Structure 1
Amino acid sequence: MRRVAALAVILLALGGFFAWRMMRDRDAAQAPFLGYVEGEVLYIGPNEGERLASLAVAAGAVVKPGDLLFAMSTTLLDRQRSEALARIGQFEAQLQNLRAAMNRPEQVAVLHAGLERAEAALTLSRNDYDRQLKLYRSGNVAKATLDRAEMALRRDEASVKEARRQVNAALIPGRSQEIEAAEAAIRQARAQLEAIDIRLGRQKVRAPAAGVVQDVFFRPGEVVNAGQPVVALLPPENRKVRFYVPEPRLAAVRIGGQVKVGCDGCPDDLFGRISFVASRQEYTPPVIFSDVERAKLVFKAEARLEGRARELPLGMPVSVTPLAQTAGAER
């Protein structure tokens, strides 16, 4: 009888153990995944190294796209812009001078007067030549006198041609090659001015997206290198939950699937959508919010928060339950 009683006790103990084991496995299969809230922070810095002139936000500030975050000093760029404007003015004056006549109106008037004087001298010498030619034909003057009159006529004709060419040369504008070179110089100077204006605009750094300022790393008066972050901005859509899925339950997690997010003191209508599941397993991380089965391999997963869940603070521990699993558990 004692053996039978002992055997019965052993069988009851084994039955209780297996029942407890089955209940524990069932609870483990239905337990939510544990994780924490993370965020992909945007680290925003200047395009060029300069001194921080002003800061328009503080940690915790909520900004909209296009809101001013901070401004850098523009002393050097302002001087470069003034220099570019002066260079453009110089090139435009040179181009206007090349397009205009080579001489001033007063100088052209003097040349016209010289032409009129040469033409008057030519008229006088032509009349004298005609008179000497008639006298020579009548035998009243020698051949030498006629030759001198003809030489004076040819001289005055050459003087008139020279005076006309001087007037025409004075009215000719600069050479076309020089004008094209001056126009190209103006285009280049204007392009440099536009580049400086773009750099000046970039010195005022604005929010690329709506979000919450997580941290500010510099204060006005400090020198910031190019690309060095001044403000850390977290857009709401960049908040996510990172959690780890044991291998036996990996089939319940699918990219694009909706999950329910829970936390202490949080409302029940917090949801997210799975955006990442690791393709390789890894050991249970040393810091995790569960003491059960640490030695098993797990798969890292992430879910993008939606709606009111985007208001959860970074680092907050949460529980993640796939909605399909919740429905199966209720049935």
Structure 2
Amino acid sequence: MMSSSLLLAACSKPRENVWQGYVEGEYVTISASQSGRLDRLSVARGQQVSVGAALFALESGDETAARQQALRQLQSAEAQLTDIQSGKRPQEISVTQAQLLQAQAMAKKAQVQLARDESQFQVGGIAKQQLDDSRATAETTAAQVRQWQSQLAVDRLPNRDAQIRAQQEQVAASQAALAQAEWRLDQKTVSATRTGLVFDTLYREGEWVAAGNPVVRMLPPENVKIRFFVPEPVLGKLKLNQTVTLYCDGCPADLPASISYIATDAEFTPSIIYSNESRAKLVYMIEAHPSMTDAPKLHPGQPLEVSLP
């Protein structure tokens, strides 16, 4: 019967090509481009979030009002452009036509009165002053007829191209102002652009957050990496994209990882001339990334062992 010490030796992993390492995370800090009071914090430390999940929101009263103002200005500019492009409305043309008819009637009456006064003046029935008054009235009413005829012709014409182009530019400027106001409003609500772990929250609701200050620290799974160190004689066995195996306490199974970086400089240089014995004291940092599925199982700072499969 095999002794317990022999059983332990048989079950233990070989120590050759096994190196000590640890988990490291490259954190992503999430902030807002605008300042404001933190009105809503939608996540907590340790929470896993997906793309599009709401993270936090800042007060947005001023930005909401600015957007409404920009929207009203755009609607006004578009209404003015439509009015300019359509010219005078039929009701307005009808008013001008009525004014013209009234002027024509008055001019006709004035001409009849002038003809009557001229006949009376020939026989000495009226004074010269009365005839002059009749002539002036006839000329005035005739001028009014010509005025309203010209106004009616103008009302029936479309507006000038230059005026339409100027109003189109005003509409474009109002659209740009609205887009800017909407962008500023959108910046007050921040959502996750990547899947990951909420590692920490740096503000509490009600606190003032300056523009650009991080509010949430996240750790996406692709930013989890393994760092370990190998002696100089082993360096030649490793290459980029090579698979290594991770062993850690509490891990359900051995996890694979892919080498993503091999340092070119030694982390430690002995203070003696190189020899076959001293070369083993040189260590080089290696980085490897686990799969996206296995990354959430690892935690920054966690010690582990790395070996070749």
Query: Alpha-carbon deviations, 1:251-277, whole Å to 9, x = none?
Result: 111110000111234344211110111
How many Å separate the matches in 1 of 2:63 and 2:102? 54
How many Å separate the matches in 1 of 2:296 and 2:71? 49
How many Å separate the matches in 1 of 2:266 and 2:111? 112
Correspondent of 1:201 among 181, 186, 189: 186
Query: 1:188 deviation in Å?
Result: 1.5
Query: 1:47 deviation in Å?
Result: 2.1
How many Å separate the matches in 2 of 1:90 and 1:250? 72
In structure 2, the residue matched to 1:256 is 241
Structure 1 length as normaliser, TM-score? Answer: 0.71
Correspondent of 1:225 among 186, 191, 210: 210
In structure 2, the residue matched to 1:120 is 108
Look up the SS of the partner of 2:289 in the other structure. strand
Structure (1 or 2) with the greater helix fraction: 1
In structure 1, the residue matched to 2:27 is 41
How many Å separate the matches in 1 of 2:252 and 2:145? 105
Query: 1:321 deviation in Å?
Result: 0.7
Contact 1:237–1:310 at 8 Å: present in 2 too?
A: no
Look up the SS of the partner of 2:213 in the other structure. coil
Contact 1:114–1:163 at 8 Å: present in 2 too?
A: no
Look up the SS of the partner of 1:227 in the other structure. coil
1:181 paired with 2:171, answer no
1:101 paired with 2:82, answer no
Q: Which has the higher Rg, Structure 1 or Structure 2?
A: 1
1:283 paired with 2:268, answer yes
Correspondent of 1:80 among 48, 66, 74: 66
In structure 1, the residue matched to 2:231 is 246
In percent, how many aligned pairs have the same letter? 33
Query: 1:245 deviation in Å?
Result: 1.7
How many Å separate the matches in 1 of 2:102 and 2:222? 85
Residues 217, 158 of structure 1: CA spacing in aligned structure 2 closer, same or farther, 3 A cutoff? Answer: closer
Correspondent of 1:316 among 302, 306, 309: 302
Aligned amino acid, residue 22 of structure 2? Y
Query: 1:190 deviation in Å?
Result: 2.0
How many Å separate the matches in 1 of 2:68 and 2:253? 61
Residues 162, 108 of structure 1: CA spacing in aligned structure 2 closer, same or farther, 3 A cutoff? Answer: closer
Residues 41, 165 of structure 1: CA spacing in aligned structure 2 closer, same or farther, 3 A cutoff? Answer: same
Query: Alpha-carbon deviations, 1:10-47, whole Å to 9, x = none?
Result: xxxxxxxxxxxxxxxxx98x241111001111111112
How do 1:18-97 residues align onto structure 2 when only pairs under 5 Å count? Answer: 30-97=16-83
Look up the SS of the partner of 1:193 in the other structure. helix
Look up the SS of the partner of 1:208 in the other structure. coil
Query: 1:299 deviation in Å?
Result: 1.4
Name structure 2 gaps, 5 residues minimum: 1-13, 120-131, 270-277
Structure 2 length as normaliser, TM-score? Answer: 0.75
How many Å separate the matches in 1 of 2:253 and 2:151? 97
How many Å separate the matches in 2 of 1:81 and 1:206? 20
In structure 2, the residue matched to 1:21 is none
Contact 2:233–2:280 at 8 Å: present in 1 too?
A: no
Look up the SS of the partner of 1:302 in the other structure. strand
Aligned amino acid, residue 302 of structure 2? M
Residues 120, 266 of structure 1: CA spacing in aligned structure 2 closer, same or farther, 3 A cutoff? Answer: same
RMSD of aligned Cα (Å): 3.9
In structure 2, the residue matched to 1:190 is 175
How many Å separate the matches in 1 of 2:172 and 2:217? 40
How many Å separate the matches in 2 of 1:163 and 1:249? 102
Look up the SS of the partner of 2:236 in the other structure. helix
Name structure 1 gaps, 5 residues minimum: 1-26, 133-147, 285-292, 324-331
Residues 227, 295 of structure 1: CA spacing in aligned structure 2 closer, same or farther, 3 A cutoff? Answer: farther
Residues 159, 316 of structure 1: CA spacing in aligned structure 2 closer, same or farther, 3 A cutoff? Answer: closer
Query: 1:84 deviation in Å?
Result: 0.9
How many Å separate the matches in 1 of 2:282 and 2:18? 17
Query: Alpha-carbon deviations, 1:221-278, whole Å to 9, x = none?
Result: 1122222211111122221110112111101111100001112343442111101111
How many Å separate the matches in 1 of 2:211 and 2:198? 20
